[in-house]
Structure 1
Amino acid sequence: MTHRLLALFLMAFIPLTLWSQDETNPYPKRSYTTTSIQGQTIKIDGVLDDEAWNAVEWTSDYVEFQPDVGTEPSQQTKMKIVYDDKNLYVAFYCLESDMSNLERRLGRRDDFPGDWVEINIDSYNDDRSGFSFTASVSGVKGDEFISDNGNFDSSWNPIWYLATSIQEDGWIAEFRVPLSQLRFGNDEEQVWGIQSTRRYFANEERSLWQPLPANPPGWVSEFGELRGLIGLKPQKQLEIQPYTVAQLDTYEAEPGNPFRDGSDPRLTGGLDAKIGVTNDLTLDLTINPDFGQVDADPGAIALDGFEIFFPERRPFFVENKNVFDFRVGGGADNVFFSRRIGRPPQGGTSVDPSKGEFQDIPAFTTILGAAKFSGKTKDGWAIGVLESVTAEEKGEIELSDDPEFIAGLPEVGEAREEVVEPLTNYFVGRVQKDFNDRNSYVGGIMTSTVRRMDPNVSFLRSHAYSGGIDFRHNWKDRKYYVEGTGILSHVRGNPESILRTQTSLTHLFQRVDAGHVEVDPTRTSMTGTGGRFEIGKGGGGDWRYNVGGNWRSPELELNDIGFLRQADQFRQYANVRRLWNNPTSWYRQANLSLNQFTEFDFEGNYNRIQYEVNGYMNWKNNWWSEFGFGHKPRIFTNTFLRGGPRWRFSDENFFYFFSGTDSRKKFNMTLGYVHSDAKEDAFALRRYVVRMRYQPLNALSLSLNFEYQENPNKTQYVTESSFDGTPRYILGNIQNESLSTTLRVNYNINPNMTIQYYGQPFIFKANFSDFNYVNDPIAEGLNERVTLYDNQQISFEDGVYSVDENRDGTTDYAFGDPDFAFVQFRSNMVFRWEYIPGSEIFLVWSQGITGLGDVNDSFGTIIQDELLGQRPQNTFLLKATYRFVF
């Protein structure tokens, strides 16, 4: 009862405080007037000696934003802006009284470890979106698309030009941004929003051209104005980028296997294009895209059976991904998850090794083509359409190429092909409309997945559709907001596919104690709903708070083109955060948060409540610390027993602490520790993190991340069996450890030529003992929930545990040895040369090892035998692109 009262108090308290503060922006909106330099030329060389620059005056008077908001910055900055009919030109003069303070470290594009300056441009003038261009003192470029009034997306890579130079009293950055890379209307006289930020590395300081108070209610909405833009004509963008790839895979040959002869050469090509349909809307096309230079996913193991979420890394889908974002609630759940497109084939073949058969299944589904149509009109319509077709993939089955092996078989198979992934069409449509002076918007999304079915993949759904609406309303100068979404999903298929959906871990309609859902093997469709609602304070003053809820009905299914971990869930949450933004004698910035949530299922079961406190401190010496602790007095789950009854976990307490040194230093590091314990020692977690970064040269940086984790659990799920006609849910005491180390090395030959290395070994060991079975799954005490097998009931021989539960001398049921050790190594070395803006050459060398080790071996032995002692698979790749700009 106490827990529920506290939750109700938080839900009531937060809305009442929404109007408790009435902060006003103390800074008037600034304005800068530019002019056209039509007929004159500016050479982008970092030297401002072109006559055209004299057409306008400098603007200055930047004001510090971090750490000491509203004060005079340590060093002042000056800015000029001019334009012609094709380009926007920007010049910065970053003053410096002590030139030894300048930090000229190099980094990859969009990575700035030293001094930098940037300009943000709201050419739509919609107070929500914009374009960001950044220059480091060393000449490294950065560019980001800004959405939702402050979300920066670095995947946007436009073509623009930059040069920097060092002067006696500072440094200069000179930009040329083609107007084709921006989006704006066709009014004769236009007003754009602008903002400029400078990072002064020596003091880890940010100063702004348009001053802002601490914790502004947004970013783009608070920009100053750029005036004097007269007669600009929208520029239609047309860029075509063909590519070619030569690839060679080498690996250890497998005797007798015709598909594993030791090497696989490949030569392919494709095309990417950007077509400006109008100045507001752009069509992105890709034909046979290649993602060979993309980093591999990190190693991970999920003992709970759920799919592991990995973020999108492929450039075509990463760019402007925010346009299609439509979240269901907290976590990764989303109506659209682009990694479904081109996923590994979901089917298998009927290969029979005993008949001399071997199989070859593609690692990924071929994307025949994809197109994105996106942009925003001057009337406030944001539009996104994505269409993609993936190929029908077939697994090949061939006979062994070893005649002696075939001759010794009593029965010989036959060569054939079997469909493992059907031809599939994916579609996503997204729209939002601003109104109410851009303080509000409403939007919607629609998705579809349609497969051309084949009997070999009849377990897949043939059709999947989803649709949703979303809205947000801001008021009181955008300090307060209310937002929400509503989602409807519908999937169709033959009874086999819908039965598989009902009984999947996401749904578990077969749960033995669930009265609100049941399995129907004759169904051919499912329809579900989801959504969320939230109200809160998002800007202004020293407080942030919100309260809300989200739901996923039992039949909600998004995993054909979206991501949904678990249906049948309702969650209520409330969060309060206090910020301290003005530096003191011992810190620069700090914040403290209180978070609470509860969970129910649609039968009304009260499954979970959690309280958490967390905080962050940026110390005066620019070191930082973050901490958190929490209490979980009620933890029930519907999924732990994989279709069995609800399971109760023991009460849990946890805390974590991370702290790091000054990130500006050439050597900096982070140490972290996570600690969790459950009542009666039912389970625990110990996680140790060490992260180090070293930049001995401006051009060279190294980082090493080390993580070790122990997660013992006395009741880890093993399998389900049957005893006297009733289900037996078998658990075990697991001692599991994981170890991962990630090394990254970046060497910048110059801002446009880099060598990057990524390598990660990952080891996971799971050792089971003290097997037990579920007795009363929702009992409060651990010993009441399970019963431990004694030595007379369980025995082990030849990899099999045999159970004589009633001790009558006869085996009642058996299960395999669940112990395992998983070993993986992934590495990637990439040489990248942007030989002209937008055109690149990649040289890639990738290595990979995946296997199983002995759970009884030490980490050192596993590394020696399974990583260092095995021949890896190597991939050598040469990719060349050329971007034609018309």
Structure 2
Amino acid sequence: MKNAAIANEFVQFVPYNGKPATEKTEVRVLYDDDAIYIGAMLYDNNPDSIFTTLTKRDAGFEVDADMFMVGISTFNDGINSSMFLVTAAGVQSDIKGTTGMDDPNWDAVWESAVNITNKGWVIEIKLPYSALRFSKDDEQTWGINFLRAIMRKQEWSSWNHVNNEISGFTNQSGVITGIRGIKPPLRLSFTPYFSTFAQHDSENNSWTKGIRGGMDLKYGINESFTLDMMLIPDFSQVQTDDIILNLTAFEIQYEERRPFFTEGIELFSKGDIFYSKRIGSFPKEFWDVEDQLSENEELIENPAEAQIINATKITGRTKKGLGIGFFNAMTLQTVAKIRNTVTNEEREYITQPFTNYNIIVFDQNLKNNSSVSLINTNLIIPDNNYTSNVTAGEFLFKNEKQNYQFNGTAGLSQIFEEQAAVDLGYKYQLNFAKTGGNVRFGIAQDLVDDKFNPNDMGFLLFNNFVASEAEISYHMLQPHWKLLEWQIRFDSEYQMQYSTKNYMQWKIGMDMHATFKSQWSWGFFFDMVPLGEDDYYEARKVGQVFKQAPSAYAGTFFGSDRRKKLSFRAFVLYWKTSSAYNENTFRGRISPTLRVNDKLRFTLEIAPAIQNNNIGYVDELTDTIIFGKRDRKTIENTIITDFTFNDKMSVSLRARHYWSSAAYKQFYTLNTDGTLTENDHYDENQDINFNAFNIDMVYTWRFAPGSDLLIVWKNTVYDEGIVVLNDYFKNLNHTFSASQTNLFSIKVLYYLDYLYLKKKK
């Protein structure tokens, strides 16, 4: 490494953008026929103050440790990059970067080592060519940048200056040339897995045991494209969804955490028409089974997810910047089992037949980090003669200075059902914005017609609206007075119903955020609907409006210095309406984190919410829609414990209790004009008391490159009743005595690289 050219003279990105870094950094790069080698000497005048907090792998930038990162854009397009990050504790993270979206779930196999000396710390990185995609050109020209973080100073610096007046990181990379004669290797790897599990259901005191096996396969079709296939997957280690009590008219969107569906999906996010949790999730008729029960019948089994048989992705980008993605997945027929309590006979009810999911996407890079895209999703249920097809186009145009952009999307949905006319809908969104400099602004319009429906494979809260938006903001780009950074934003949005052009709502708001030199942060926000809202969704009936009075909310949030052993984040919000019902809401959250040492960390999250006199939908009778006034209480407590043995072994324990209730005080009839009239005849008990309790404990050991041993324990309790328990601790005790499910599993994944095996022979 001594003879390699030195990359030095790092420049600050944060806090003093454009000024020289306070500590010296020297980076050297070498290569051979197998890999790129990076060596860095990160000098530090106080080496005993280097932060070396241990975390689990792939913690990304959210770590309390000094770190070094190299970002490589092998096609030098200013958009796509592979980022490899190592902390001073030796923990690796790898991230796929692209415009507007980083993928921390991308997992490559590479090597690194660190050592702290009396001069600072040293890092060595080996990036095998199998971890990169590059052309067959005899000489390579790659975009490259190096990033260093000094946590005690909260200083981030880079080799090639990253100007905070310009949006983006990869587009501000430097260039490395002179890499000659390297060839893209055969990229072929297998990751077979074996798992065993035991599940106990306390309701009927039964055990379910089993053994599973499957495999992930990755194959480099050529230097640009990769096939990624998953056979008979097992996601037992994935964190349980944070289920909540939903009394709204809209579906809850839960975060995708399954590895195959979070890694390498940046192309499939184009057009905003793909929501991967649709695959292998609730069967389409899961909630309809109860309505199929006859007299003397009971439901004995109703799987909450469809079994995925396999899933395949092909992704990549040509030398001319054309990105292509193909995705296919299949799920087995899912059935519920029903038993006759008199004859003991059992029958099956199909909740979802065999289903096939397809996506194809094209994304062309243009100059100035601009792009145009076309994506199509297609769902087919052959047994039902049902097809859902959604197509979307997307464009992003930026100017040469990267401080203005014009972007938009357009989509078309088509649903084909047997003996039914094609259900055709469309949407579009246009946005023009100034994205750089102190003063920034944006204007946008969104239109979704009353028939656009991407929800077989996508996620859309509601359709049938037109929204016009505008915002302006001011950003302080250099520290001043006691402030490191400060920004303030004002925005306004006007919505009307697409089908009738009727008014829906007009919102105006502002928010402010500041970070002080002490590393404390503070901000506040305010939003109001001065003309009230005409809500066309809460009644759950097409065309029926529910008129809501003018309302407003305000809140503030705080954050302490995360470098300290004890830090916290908190926010409070208060919402009030001017209606005669005296509706008001208080929400809050406080989240202290205690870092006991470099290995052990505790985080507690407490989130209460109190909604007084909340007005909402209750029921629909033959010709009457019933609304109700209710008091709602919600408390969510989460405890997270992370213990990291070393840079390859960790255990995490996450326990969450969620309690939410609704106690009704008065019922109303919703009138056709959207107003309410008291209804003293409706006497159904609609009170709800819901508890959810989950424990997720995962032990992870990366015993070889790309290979993991996982030991998992999951405890799950869901309990719902019509008797409201207003005491939190009574709810907690009641939850402990409710029926619960315990899952214990052991899973081993072993990474096999074809080239490595070939060399051993």
Alpha-carbon distance change, 860 to 479 in structure 1, aligned in 2, over 3 angstroms: closer
What residue in structure 1 maps to residue 58 of structure 2? 110
Higher strand share goes to which structure?
2
Measured after TM superposition, the shift of residue 237 of structure 1 is: 1.2
Which of 230, 237, 240 pairs up with 1:296? 240
What residue in structure 1 maps to residue 189 of structure 2? 239
Per the alignment, in what secondary structure is the counterpart of residue 712 of structure 1? strand
Q: In the alignment, is residue 867 of structure 1 matched against residue 735 of structure 2?
A: yes
Contact 1:200/1:206 (8 A) holds in 2: yes
Q: In the alignment, is residue 268 of structure 1 matched against residue 218 of structure 2?
A: no
Moved more, 101-110 or 279-288: 101-110
1:660-679 equivalences in 2 (<5 Å): 660-679=559-578
Which of 670, 688, 711 pairs up with 1:774? 670
After superposition, the C-alpha distances for 1:470-499 in whole angstroms (9 at most, x for unaligned) are 11111132211111111111001146xxxx
What residue in structure 2 maps to residue 468 of structure 1? 392
Measured after TM superposition, the shift of residue 537 of structure 1 is: 1.2
Alpha-carbon distance change, 447 to 352 in structure 1, aligned in 2, over 3 angstroms: closer
Per the alignment, in what secondary structure is the counterpart of residue 48 of structure 2? helix
What residue in structure 2 maps to residue 25 of structure 1? none
Measured after TM superposition, the shift of residue 683 of structure 1 is: 2.1
After superposition, the C-alpha distances for 1:636-684 in whole angstroms (9 at most, x for unaligned) are 1111212162121110111110101001111101121011111135422
1:491-570 equivalences in 2 (<5 Å): 491-494=415-418, 523-539=420-436, 541-570=437-466
Which of 208, 222, 226 pairs up with 1:278? 222
Q: In the alignment, is residue 421 of structure 1 matched against residue 365 of structure 2?
A: no
Q: In the alignment, is residue 623 of structure 1 matched against residue 623 of structure 2?
A: no
Q: In the alignment, is residue 579 of structure 1 matched against residue 510 of structure 2?
A: no
Aligned AA for 1:307?
Answer: E
Cα distance in 1, alignment partners of residues 172 and 98 from structure 2: 14
Measured after TM superposition, the shift of residue 857 of structure 1 is: 2.0
Cα distance in 2, alignment partners of residues 320 and 77 from structure 1: 32
Aligned AA for 1:315?
Answer: P
What residue in structure 1 maps to residue 337 of structure 2? 396
What residue in structure 2 maps to residue 385 of structure 1? 326
Cα distance in 2, alignment partners of residues 101 and 854 from structure 1: 57
After superposition, the C-alpha distances for 1:155-192 in whole angstroms (9 at most, x for unaligned) are 10100001000111100111001111111111111211
What residue in structure 1 maps to residue 637 of structure 2? 741
Cα distance in 1, alignment partners of residues 731 and 266 from structure 2: 40
Which of 686, 693, 716 pairs up with 2:616? 716
Measured after TM superposition, the shift of residue 75 of structure 1 is: 1.2
Cα distance in 1, alignment partners of residues 449 and 365 from structure 2: 30
Per the alignment, in what secondary structure is the counterpart of residue 7 of structure 2? coil
Q: In the alignment, is residue 372 of structure 1 matched against residue 240 of structure 2?
A: no
Cα distance in 2, alignment partners of residues 84 and 850 from structure 1: 57
Cα distance in 2, alignment partners of residues 221 and 530 from structure 1: 30
Measured after TM superposition, the shift of residue 353 of structure 1 is: 8.2
Cα distance in 2, alignment partners of residues 135 and 687 from structure 1: 38
After superposition, the C-alpha distances for 1:532-568 in whole angstroms (9 at most, x for unaligned) are 11111123x2122111111111111111111111111
After superposition, the C-alpha distances for 1:232-283 in whole angstroms (9 at most, x for unaligned) are 21223111111111010012243xxxxxx51110111111011000111000
Measured after TM superposition, the shift of residue 325 of structure 1 is: 0.6
Per the alignment, in what secondary structure is the counterpart of residue 142 of structure 1? strand
Per the alignment, in what secondary structure is the counterpart of residue 296 of structure 1? coil
TM-score by length of 1: 0.82
Per the alignment, in what secondary structure is the counterpart of residue 868 of structure 1? helix
1:831-850 equivalences in 2 (<5 Å): 831-850=699-718
Alpha-carbon distance change, 363 to 379 in structure 1, aligned in 2, over 3 angstroms: same
Aligned AA for 1:845?
Answer: W
Aligned AA for 1:717?
Answer: Y
Q: Which runs of 5+ in 1 are unaligned?
A: 1-52, 255-260, 328-333, 400-405, 455-460, 496-522, 779-784, 795-802, 804-813
Which of 136, 151, 154 pairs up with 1:201? 151
Could you tell me the percent identity over the aligned residues?
24
Contact 2:161/2:172 (8 A) holds in 1: no
Aligned AA for 2:33?
Answer: D
Aligned AA for 2:598?
Answer: N
Contact 1:853/1:862 (8 A) holds in 2: no
1:112-131 equivalences in 2 (<5 Å): 112-131=63-82
After superposition, the C-alpha distances for 1:686-740 in whole angstroms (9 at most, x for unaligned) are 0011101111010111111110001223532222235xxxx33322211001110
What residue in structure 2 maps to residue 146 of structure 1? 97
Cα distance in 2, alignment partners of residues 493 and 776 from structure 1: 32
Alpha-carbon distance change, 864 to 687 in structure 1, aligned in 2, over 3 angstroms: closer
Cα distance in 1, alignment partners of residues 24 and 46 from structure 2: 13
Per the alignment, in what secondary structure is the counterpart of residue 555 of structure 1? coil
Which of 4, 15, 21 pairs up with 1:73? 21
Cα distance in 2, alignment partners of residues 320 and 415 from structure 1: 43
After superposition, the C-alpha distances for 1:96-125 in whole angstroms (9 at most, x for unaligned) are 111222111001112222111111111111
Contact 1:67/1:581 (8 A) holds in 2: no
Aligned AA for 2:2?
Answer: N
Contact 2:662/2:724 (8 A) holds in 1: no
Measured after TM superposition, the shift of residue 352 of structure 1 is: 4.8
What residue in structure 1 maps to residue 757 of structure 2? none
Cα distance in 2, alignment partners of residues 163 and 865 from structure 1: 48
Contact 2:546/2:670 (8 A) holds in 1: no
What residue in structure 2 maps to residue 319 of structure 1? 263
Measured after TM superposition, the shift of residue 823 of structure 1 is: 0.6
Measured after TM superposition, the shift of residue 438 of structure 1 is: 4.7
After superposition, the C-alpha distances for 1:404-424 in whole angstroms (9 at most, x for unaligned) are xx6xx4xx2522333221101
What residue in structure 1 maps to residue 758 of structure 2? none
Alpha-carbon distance change, 445 to 125 in structure 1, aligned in 2, over 3 angstroms: same
What residue in structure 1 maps to residue 510 of structure 2? 613
Contact 1:126/1:438 (8 A) holds in 2: no
Q: In the alignment, is residue 787 of structure 1 matched against residue 677 of structure 2?
A: yes
TM-score by length of 2: 0.95
Contact 2:584/2:614 (8 A) holds in 1: no
Cα distance in 2, alignment partners of residues 122 and 486 from structure 1: 29
Contact 2:468/2:493 (8 A) holds in 1: yes
Cα distance in 2, alignment partners of residues 242 and 711 from structure 1: 50
Cα distance in 2, alignment partners of residues 103 and 472 from structure 1: 40
Alpha-carbon distance change, 193 to 648 in structure 1, aligned in 2, over 3 angstroms: same
Measured after TM superposition, the shift of residue 127 of structure 1 is: 1.0
Cα distance in 1, alignment partners of residues 162 and 201 from structure 2: 58
1:8-87 equivalences in 2 (<5 Å): 53-87=1-35
Cα distance in 2, alignment partners of residues 169 and 826 from structure 1: 47
Contact 1:96/1:169 (8 A) holds in 2: yes
Q: In the alignment, is residue 442 of structure 1 matched against residue 380 of structure 2?
A: no
Measured after TM superposition, the shift of residue 864 of structure 1 is: 4.2
Contact 1:244/1:268 (8 A) holds in 2: yes
Q: Which runs of 5+ in 2 are unaligned?
A: 755-761
Contact 1:765/1:855 (8 A) holds in 2: no
Measured after TM superposition, the shift of residue 355 of structure 1 is: 3.5
Cα distance in 2, alignment partners of residues 57 and 490 from structure 1: 57
Per the alignment, in what secondary structure is the counterpart of residue 86 of structure 2? strand
What residue in structure 2 maps to residue 218 of structure 1? 168
Alpha-carbon distance change, 714 to 663 in structure 1, aligned in 2, over 3 angstroms: closer
Alpha-carbon distance change, 746 to 679 in structure 1, aligned in 2, over 3 angstroms: same
Alpha-carbon distance change, 300 to 701 in structure 1, aligned in 2, over 3 angstroms: same
Measured after TM superposition, the shift of residue 430 of structure 1 is: 0.8
Contact 2:685/2:722 (8 A) holds in 1: no
Contact 1:853/1:866 (8 A) holds in 2: no
Per the alignment, in what secondary structure is the counterpart of residue 244 of structure 2? coil
Cα distance in 1, alignment partners of residues 663 and 297 from structure 2: 35
Q: In the alignment, is residue 174 of structure 1 matched against residue 124 of structure 2?
A: yes
Aligned AA for 1:73?
Answer: A
Cα distance in 1, alignment partners of residues 689 and 538 from structure 2: 22
Measured after TM superposition, the shift of residue 213 of structure 1 is: 2.4
Per the alignment, in what secondary structure is the counterpart of residue 326 of structure 1? helix
Aligned AA for 1:859?
Answer: D
